[in-house]
Structure 1
């Protein structure tokens, strides 16, 4: 029974991580006033989203 519970928890975790990554990416591209201006703030935000996207699925 523990195996099933762990697989279920892992599946829920992966779904939540996917949703969080999708929301972060959506925040960068959807109606962003700084989309055309690739300043330091936008690039930093893009780098942080990429770093979190790589680090989160490791669970």
Structure 2
């Protein structure tokens, strides 16, 4: 399990360091997601909701940590 998480972290780091144009998908039809999160977010509205919930969860976690 830890190896898979580390591999994913490495993939995200690599994507973060590559030019943005390489990472942008022009249409959902040209991208086939292989993970359940990508499959569950079908449009930009759902992505915005997910990011808002994620930000809220991070803020709660940070306040509990301190």
Task: Normalising by structure 1, report the TM-score.
Answer: 0.40
| Bigger Rg over Cα | 1
Q: Which has the higher contact order (CA 8 A, sep 6+)?
A: 1
Task: Normalising by structure 2, report the TM-score.
Answer: 0.36
